Amino acid sequence: MKKGRVIKISIIVTILLVLAIWVNSRWNVWFGDLPEPEYVAENKISRLLMTYGEDGEFSRTFTWMCGDTLQPAILELVVLTDTLHFEAEGEVYASRSGKAAYYRADIASLPQGMSYNYRILSQTDTTEWYTFATPYETDQRRFIYLGDVQDNYTGVTPKIFSEIFELYPDVDFYLFGGDIIERPMSGYWDYWFASMQDVPKTKPIMAAAGNHEYLKSLPRYLEDRFGLVFPYASAHNNKGNALLSIKIGDGQILLLDSNKDFWKYFYQRRWLKNELKNSNAQWQIVTLHHPIYSTKGAFNQLLQRLFFNPVIKSCGADLVLQGHEHTFMRTSRVKEDSTLQTPVYITSHCSPKSYRVSYPSNYSKIDNGDKYYQLITYTSDKITIESYNSSHTQIDMVEITPNSVYEVKE
C-alpha–C-alpha distance, residues 410 and 408, integer Å: 7
The predicted structure's pLDDT at residue 30: 59
> How many domains does the chain fold into?
2
| DSSP H/E element including 376 | strand 372-378
Q: Are residues 50 and 148 in the same domain?
A: no
* Average pLDDT for 326-337: 87
Task: Give the range of the structural domain holding residue 55, as residue numbers without chain letter.
Answer: 46-133
pTM, whole model, 2 decimals? Answer: 0.93
Yes or no: say if 38 and 97 are a contact pair by the CB < 8 Å rule. Answer: yes
The predicted structure's pLDDT at residue 23: 60
Yes or no: say if 202 and 131 are a contact pair by the CB < 8 Å rule. Answer: yes
Q: Are residues 259 and 357 in the same domain?
A: yes
* Average pLDDT for 211-230: 92
Q: In whole numbers, what is the pLDDT of the chain averaged over residues?
A: 92
pLDDT surpasses 60 at 86: yes
Nearest CA-CA partner of 405 in 298, 328, 347, 320: 320
Q: Are residues 95 and 191 in the same domain?
A: no
Q: Are residues 127 and 175 in the same domain?
A: no
Q: Are residues 181 and 126 in the same domain?
A: no
Amino acid 242 reads A
Q: Are residues 63 and 165 in the same domain?
A: no
* Average pLDDT for 18-47: 79
CA dist 334 → 20, 305, 311, 364, 404 (Å): 44, 17, 18, 10, 10
* 243 in any annotated domain: yes
C-alpha–C-alpha distance, residues 349 and 157, integer Å: 11
More confident residue, 201 or 12: 201
The predicted structure's pLDDT at residue 180: 97
The predicted structure's pLDDT at residue 176: 98
* CB contact set of 49 (below 8 Å; sequence gap of 6+): 62, 63, 64, 193, 200, 201, 205, 229, 230
The predicted structure's pLDDT at residue 9: 74
C-alpha–C-alpha distance, residues 351 and 230, integer Å: 21
Q: Are residues 185 and 276 in the same domain?
A: yes
Identify any residues that bridge with 245 across adjacent strands, giving them in sequence order.
Answer: 254
Q: Which of 117, 133, 149 is a domain's end point?
A: 133
Instruction: Find the CATH number of the domain harbouring 236.
Output: 3.60.21.10
Q: Are residues 152 and 277 in the same domain?
A: yes
pLDDT surpasses 90 at 25: no
Q: Are residues 145 and 97 in the same domain?
A: no
* 340 in any annotated domain: yes
Q: Are residues 63 and 196 in the same domain?
A: no
C-alpha–C-alpha distance, residues 313 and 52, integer Å: 27
* 336 in any annotated domain: yes
* 368 in any annotated domain: yes
Q: Cα Rg for the chain, rounded, in angstroms?
A: 23
* 20 in any annotated domain: no
Q: Which of 133, 167, 199 is a domain's end point?
A: 133
Residue 80 has a CB neighbour count (10 Å cut-off) of 9
DSSP string, 171-185: -SEEEE-S--SSSSS
Q: Are residues 296 and 156 in the same domain?
A: yes
C-alpha–C-alpha distance, residues 122 and 89, integer Å: 12
* Average pLDDT for 57-75: 97
More confident residue, 24 or 406: 406
Q: pLDDT exceeding 90 applies to what percent of the chain?
A: 77
Of 3-12, 113-122, 288-297, the least confident: 3-12
Instruction: Find the CATH number of the domain harbouring 66.
Output: 2.60.40.380
* Average pLDDT for 119-124: 97
* Average pLDDT for 381-387: 97
* 331 in any annotated domain: yes
CA triplet 63, 153, 219: central angle to 5 degrees? 65
Q: Which of 80, 112, 133 is a domain's end point?
A: 133
pLDDT surpasses 70 at 29: no
* 193 in any annotated domain: yes
* 306 in any annotated domain: yes
Q: Are residues 86 and 203 in the same domain?
A: no
Of 162-166, 281-285, 300-304, 379-383, the least confident: 300-304
The predicted structure's pLDDT at residue 218: 75
* Average pLDDT for 310-337: 92
* Average pLDDT for 80-85: 93
